[in-house]
Amino acid sequence: MKIIPAIDIIEGKCVRLTQGDFGKMKIYREDPVDVALEFQEADLEYLHLVDLDGAKKGRVINWKVIEEIQSRTALTVDFGGGVKTDEEVEQLLELGVNQINVGSLAIKESEKFIYWLNKYGSENFILSADVKNENIMINGWLESANFRVLDLVDQFIRHGLEYVTCTDIGLDGMLSGPNFGLYKKIKARFPGLKINASGGISSIDDIKELQYMQLHGAIIGKAIYEGRFNLSDLKKI
């Protein structure tokens, strides 16, 4: 299972939200590039990079941060936050971003997401399923899509979808443990799907349980910034 530290960006700074609430934002570092370099120096390989400004505005905003992380680190980056156009997809892939997370667009313009899976390759995309009580939330977690997570995955799996990152917004930033039941349910329905767990991961025991479930990856954010994990410990895992 991949250990994937997370960096969320607002106005070029490294921040974390609590339960997806922009009103509950905490700035942890002024320069997210420095944070990415620290992850690399700790021999971590992956990075989940989120442009929260982009998620809110519906277009990628923090291009400078993306470009710097790509040019100054060798991290394998998956990026999300407001990607809506072919031009953005192509620019991100040209910059060397490994995978692009697609959330709101997959709900609102499902045919475009299917087109991207076919045109650019399904290995380049992750369906970003942000859920609250198993209902999908969109537009930076601000609106309910009236869509169940299993139904959303089912819509795209037949078109080659390989990866999904599922975030339980109710647990995100709460440091209270992930929604194991939700991941078990998704894995039981779609055993071949590569699932990244996100939201609430706060202990080594959490990570070991997700490993036992044979998930593809574990995205860890606030627990790192609050000192629940030592970066060297994550590498050992």
pLDDT digits (tens, 9 = 90+) for 40-79: 999 999 999 999 999 889 999 999 999 999 999 999 999 9
Tokens of 89: 């997809």
Tokens of 213: 């479930």
Fold designation for 2-236: TIM Barrel (3.20.20)
Q: How many angstroms from the chain centroid is the CA of residue 199?
A: 10
CB 140 within 8 A of CB 172: no
DSSP per residue over 75-106, as a string? -EEEEES---SHHHHHHHHHHT-SEEEE-HHH
pLDDT at 187: 97
Regarding predicted confidence, which is higher, 143 or 214?
Answer: 214
pLDDT at 144: 72
Taking residues 108-135, what's their average pLDDT?
94
CB 7 within 8 A of CB 48: yes
Contacts of 81 (CB under 8 A, 6+ apart): 9, 50, 51, 52, 53, 54, 55, 60, 61, 62, 101
Of all helices (H) and strands (E), which one includes residue 199?
Answer: none
- Does residue 173 register a pLDDT over 80? no
**130 is annotated as an active-site residue:** yes
Where are the domains positioned within the chain? 2-236
Kindly indicate the confidence band of residue 111, based on its pLDDT and cuts at 50, 70 and 90: very high
pLDDT at 28: 85
Kindly indicate the confidence band of residue 159, based on its pLDDT and cuts at 50, 70 and 90: very high
Instruction: Please give the Cα distance from 115 to 130 (Å, whole number).
Output: 22
Residue 204: strand pairing partners: none
CA distances in angstroms from 33 to 20, 149, 159, 233, listed in the order given: 22, 33, 35, 21
pTM: 0.92
- Does residue 96 register a pLDDT over 60? yes
Percent of the chain whose pLDDT exceeds 90: 70
Tokens of 187: 């894995």
pLDDT digits (tens, 9 = 90+) for 127-153: 999 898 888 877 656 677 778 899 999
Kindly indicate the confidence band of residue 179, based on its pLDDT and cuts at 50, 70 and 90: very high
Of all helices (H) and strands (E), which one includes residue 196?
Answer: strand 194-198
pLDDT at 172: 65
- Does residue 18 register a pLDDT over 70? no
Active-site option among 78, 130, 172, 206:
130
CA distances in angstroms from 189 to 63, 78, 186, listed in the order given: 37, 25, 5
